[in-house]
């Protein structure tokens, strides 16, 4: 019996390593400016079809590890209290995890009755997708085997109206996301998207924009000679455009 166990333990270890290695191969995160993978899924608001249901809208996909967990609960609560702000930014929210639909529905009920940070409960208007078979999670690289092989990490994908991924972020399970920062990034992306400008470090809505740098010092000097009050520079490659809105 002892001999049998001695033989089997190494085999079990090797098999476990193989399964883990295979799960690593399944992780493929889409790239920036890549077309966001299409999917159809069941959610707390019925069937969701991406991108068909989101024509000409910005979309943010949030993945989370599990329902009825404290960090996730604070995040969904915060999203619900900012959902009208996202709507005003022409943006739809999608939340996804590998939990079942019934679990999502019960969890939403508990969040919608929650009084937190001195604010009253609010209704959740965005869908929570049930990805029990993990098909969507794998397409978006939301499952990281070194973190957990069956639950999603805290992922964020911001997708442009044309369906291209513009922002990707992942948080560990024990750190909550900053919704205000996500709104800041979304606003910066939209400003760049519409006005063909750059945004400098710590940019906030209303701040001036950066321009693509001139190709040479001579081109920079010509820009300076125009003496346009809407533009200013700090050196030959660092030009700003005033935000007059």
Active site (catalytic) residues: 72
Asked if 34 contacts 47 with a C-beta cutoff of 8 angstroms, the reply is: no
Tokens linked to 176: 């909550």
Q: d(Cα 86, Cα 69) in Å, to the nearest integer?
A: 24
Pull the structure tokens for residue 213: 């740098």
Q: What is the rounded CA–CA span in Å between residue 211 and residue 198?
A: 6
Token pair recorded at residue 97: 């995890």
- Sheet architecture: strand order including 165-171: 46-50, 39-43, 128-130, 91-97, 58-63, 154-159, 165-171
Strands (E), the chain: 39-43, 46-50, 58-63, 91-97, 128-130, 154-159, 165-171, 209-210, 231-235, 238-241
- Within its chain, how far is the Cα of 56 from the centroid? 18
207, 201 contact by CB (below 8 A): no
């Amino acid at each position: 019996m002892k001999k049998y166990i001695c033989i089997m333990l190494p085999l079990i270890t090797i098999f476990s390593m193989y399964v883990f290695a295979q799960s690593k191969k399944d992780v493929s995160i889409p790239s920036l400016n890549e077309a966001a993978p299409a999917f159809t899924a069941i959610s707390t608001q019925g069937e969701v079809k991406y991108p068909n249901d989101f024509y000409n809208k910005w979309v943010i996909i949030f993945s989370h590890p599990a329902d009825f967990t404290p960090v996730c609960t604070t995040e969904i609560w915060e999203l619900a209290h900012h959902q009208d702000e996202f709507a005003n930014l022409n943006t739809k929210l999608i939340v996804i995890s590998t939990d079942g639909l019934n679990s999502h529905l019960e969890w939403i009920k508990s969040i919608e009755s929650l009084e937190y940070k001195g604010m009253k409960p609010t209704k959740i208007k965005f869908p929570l997708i049930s990805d029990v078979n993990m098909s969507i999670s794998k397409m978006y690289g939301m499952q990281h085997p070194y973190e957990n092989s069956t639950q999603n990490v805290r992922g964020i994908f911001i997708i442009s109206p044309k369906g291209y991924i513009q922002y990707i972020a992942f948080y560990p399970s024990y750190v909550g996301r900053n919704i205000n920062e996500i709104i800041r990034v979304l606003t910066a992306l939209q400003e760049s998207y519409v006005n063909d400008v750059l945004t400098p470090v710590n940019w906030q809505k209303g701040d001036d924009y950066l321009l693509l740098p001139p190709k040479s010092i001579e081109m920079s000097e010509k820009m300076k000679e125009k003496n346009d009050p809407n533009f200013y520079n700090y050196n030959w490659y660092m030009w700003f455009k005033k935000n007059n809105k």
